[in-house]
Amino acid sequence: MTESRYLRIIAAFLYVLAFCCSTASAQDLNTTARFSIESIQSAMASTKLSKVTVKNDPIYNDARMYEGYPLVLVLKTLAVHLQPTAWIRFSCRDGYAPEIPIKKVLDGSAFLAMRSLHKTAEHGWEPMWKDGKQTSPGPAYLVWTLPDEKPEEFPWPYQIVSIEVFSRQRESIMAPREAGEIASKGFGIFAARCLKCHSLNGYGGEMGPELLDPCSVTQYWTSEFLQAYIRKPQSIRAKARMPSNEDLSDGDLRSVLAYLGYLVNHRKNSASDHCPVP
Ligand code: HEC
């Protein structure tokens, strides 16, 4: 049997285990459970590390081998109730915080790498370059064994410092039906591409600035500049760290702006008007 078939069978077994054997002591579905990497390391201390090979590691653009645990096994060991509608957020040292639906990890294709098995690894990790400085993906790096997955949907966060499991409560930033079709399309794009780095009303990632509270970015930028910036930040600001979105159409960009525009009157501090400029 090939290694990948073997892994697939283990994954299928874990998947069944996840649903059949949750104990009464499992986490309450509505509470957010947050686990630091240190607490995950100690919870997993008596579990044997397994090895995984990934075909196209986006950090090194090549195949790499790691030692760690299938994420579903980690969640199971932490007694997380694997409710299929729950979400997982990976918080990273630099504020990057992608979220994925838990159902994506139940097949065993998500793997929490705890050390690299590459020949140049030092102290467990292979060096990498970030913002001109040498660093490493540790203490934990999420890798995927699925071939050709879309990076938007299957993020590879590194330098993970904590993992949170929660049922999604983002009412404060959702575009309801009355906001119109264009704004809800914009919400979909924002949730998939932007929320991991930007918060709205305090909800979301912290790698980039908050875009809504107390003033909405649409109040102090013109739409033309915003569209150009979102498509290619470096065209407006040299050294911008935000990645380009050159595959977004004009219509996509307009819908993102319609969504942000809709939220102007749904800022959490709009009633008392904390934004100094009306
Ligand atoms: C990988 C993280 C990341 C992603 C993903 C990201 N941004 Fe950003 N964004 C940043 C950072 C960092 C800045 C701060 C300026 C800079 O360095 O580019 C920023 C700045 C901005 C600004 C300017 C804010 C201001 O007040 O000056 C806007 C607007 C913006 N981003 C919108 C978006 C939108 C819309 C998306 C999704 C299509 C998005 N960003 C995706 C990281 C990100």
Q: What is the CA(263)–ligand 1 centre distance, in A? A: 17
Taking CA atoms only, the protein residue closest to ligand 1 atom 43 is: 242
Q: Ligand 1 in contact with 260 (CB < 6 A)?
A: no
Q: What is the pLDDT of residue 125?
A: 97
Neighbours of 38 (CB within 10 A): 11
Ligand 1 atom with the smallest distance to the CA of 207 is 12
Q: Ligand 1 in contact with 194 (CB < 6 A)?
A: yes
Q: What is the CA(219)–ligand 1 centre distance, in A? A: 16
Q: What is the pLDDT of residue 59?
A: 94
What is d(CA 216, CA 257) in angstroms, rounded to the nearest whole number?
Answer: 11
Which residues are CB-neighbours of 49 under 8 A, at least 6 positions away?
67, 68, 69, 114
Q: What is the pLDDT of residue 175?
A: 79
CA distances from 2 to 16, 66, 72, 110 (A): 22, 18, 22, 19
Q: What is the pLDDT of residue 147?
A: 72
State residue 226 phi and psi, 5-degree precision: -60, -45
What is d(CA 78, CA 31) in angstroms, rounded to the nearest whole number?
Answer: 14
Q: What is the pLDDT of residue 234?
A: 97
Q: What is the CA(121)–ligand 1 centre distance, in A? A: 33
Domains of the chain: 3-167 (no CATH), 172-266 (1.10.760.10)
Q: What is the pLDDT of residue 86?
A: 85
What is d(CA 265, CA 71) in angstroms, rounded to the nearest whole number?
Answer: 40
Q: Ligand 1 in contact with 275 (CB < 6 A)?
A: no
Q: What is the pLDDT of residue 173?
A: 80
Ligand 1 atom with the smallest distance to the CA of 217 is 26
Paired with 143 in beta bridges are 111
Q: What is the pLDDT of residue 272?
A: 65
Q: Ligand 1 in contact with 217 (CB < 6 A)?
A: yes
Contact 188, 258 (CB under 8 A): no
Q: What is the CA(224)–ligand 1 centre distance, in A? A: 15
Residue-level pLDDT, tens digit, the chain, 278 residues? 455 555 555 555 444 444 333 332 333 334 578 899 999 999 999 999 999 999 989 999 999 999 999 999 999 998 887 777 788 999 999 999 998 888 888 888 999 999 999 999 999 999 999 888 999 999 999 999 987 677 667 899 999 999 999 876 666 788 777 889 999 999 989 988 999 999 998 888 889 999 999 999 999 999 999 999 999 999 999 999 999 999 999 999 999 999 999 999 888 877 666 788 76
Ligand 1 atom with the smallest distance to the CA of 241 is 17
Q: What is the pLDDT of residue 153?
A: 77
Length of the chain: 278
Q: What is the pLDDT of residue 224?
A: 97
Which residues are CB-neighbours of 25 under 8 A, at least 6 positions away?
79
The residue whose two tokens read 């909405």 is 216
